[in-house]
Amino acid sequence: MTEQGFSQRAFLAVLLLGALVFTVGPIVYLVLSSFKPEVEILSQKPTLLPATWYFSNYRMLFEVTPIISATKNSVIIACLVTLMTVVCASYTAYLLTRTKMRGLDFASKILLFCYALPDVIVGIGFYMIFAQISALNNYLSVALGQCAITVPFGIWMLWAYFRQIPVELDEAALIDGANRFQIIWMVIRPIAMPGIAAVAVYSFIISWNEYTLANMLITRDDLKTLPIVMGQLVKAEGAFWGLAFAMATVSLIPALLFVFFMLKPLISGLTVGALKG
């Protein structure tokens, strides 16, 4: 190996190590801190590993916080958002790529603009609408509000993805007697599975971590999601850092499980796409 090649590999290794520390480091510190007592967390000399492993944070988490109901609410809303985003974005993006009409470029820019809107602006509009029709404190209302964020980006992503799929596949399926819905499900979906899986993962993570919209549209304690409950543990007048770290650690589990199970359709879709190509 030449000296130049070794330098390039060493530089790449340093960049990868820095990226790993920058992204994974805070998560590791968060998880380890959930096993520390409050005094050690607030110590002037912070440490990575707990001096003594303190499990009472998790015991108190299930005793004094509504973590079970909050987790259930977050899972239900995130699944609704993911399902609605994937269905709406998939069919809309497909029809946009197979329809010849003026204004599509302008429509794409409008979609991107809607995605860039702050959550507060979107939340105010939805709050006023749902308040007038008495639809606050409802899973579906929160999911619809969050879809205003996830659907535009999903359409944008799948639009670019579907444009790479040859129209000849649609024409061959039409000759065989398939309708548009059958084409999307049986022909386009297996090829576009990597993009669809990416949109599903994105939608779930955005909904799982979303705070502003959920906090505006939910006022009942039994319907509050995990981000709202975690926000209540950290306030200006005082913070329960041990409970907050423990709840944040628990909240990582469903998101990681969802991403793990989505790896299979993502990888299988990549394989099918390679064979079809």
Q: At 220, list the tokens.
A: 């009942």
139 within a domain of the structure (yes/no): yes
Number of compact structural domains in the chain: 1
Range of the domain at 78: 67-276
pLDDT digits (tens, 9 = 90+) for 103-126: 666 776 777 777 777 778 888 888
Percent of the chain with pLDDT over 70: 90
252 within a domain of the structure (yes/no): yes
- With a cut of 50, say whether residue 218 has pLDDT above it: yes
pLDDT attached to residue 265 = 66
197 within a domain of the structure (yes/no): yes
28 within a domain of the structure (yes/no): no
pLDDT attached to residue 273 = 41
Q: At 177, list the tokens.
A: 């007697």
Separation of alpha carbons 155 and 254, rounded Å: 25
pLDDT attached to residue 99 = 76
pLDDT attached to residue 2 = 64
144 within a domain of the structure (yes/no): yes
pLDDT digits (tens, 9 = 90+) for 170-207: 888 888 888 878 888 888 888 888 888 889 998 999 99
Average pLDDT of the residues in 127-149: 90
43 within a domain of the structure (yes/no): no
Average pLDDT of the residues in 234-262: 85
59 within a domain of the structure (yes/no): no
- With a cut of 70, say whether residue 16 has pLDDT above it: yes
- With a cut of 90, say whether residue 225 has pLDDT above it: yes
Q: Which amino acid is at 169?
A: L
Q: What is the pTM of this model?
A: 0.84
Average pLDDT of the residues in 53-75: 92
Domain of residue 202, CATH code: 1.10.3720.10
Which of the four pLDDT bands, split at 50, 70 and 90, describes residue 80? very high
- With a cut of 70, say whether residue 274 has pLDDT above it: no
108 within a domain of the structure (yes/no): yes
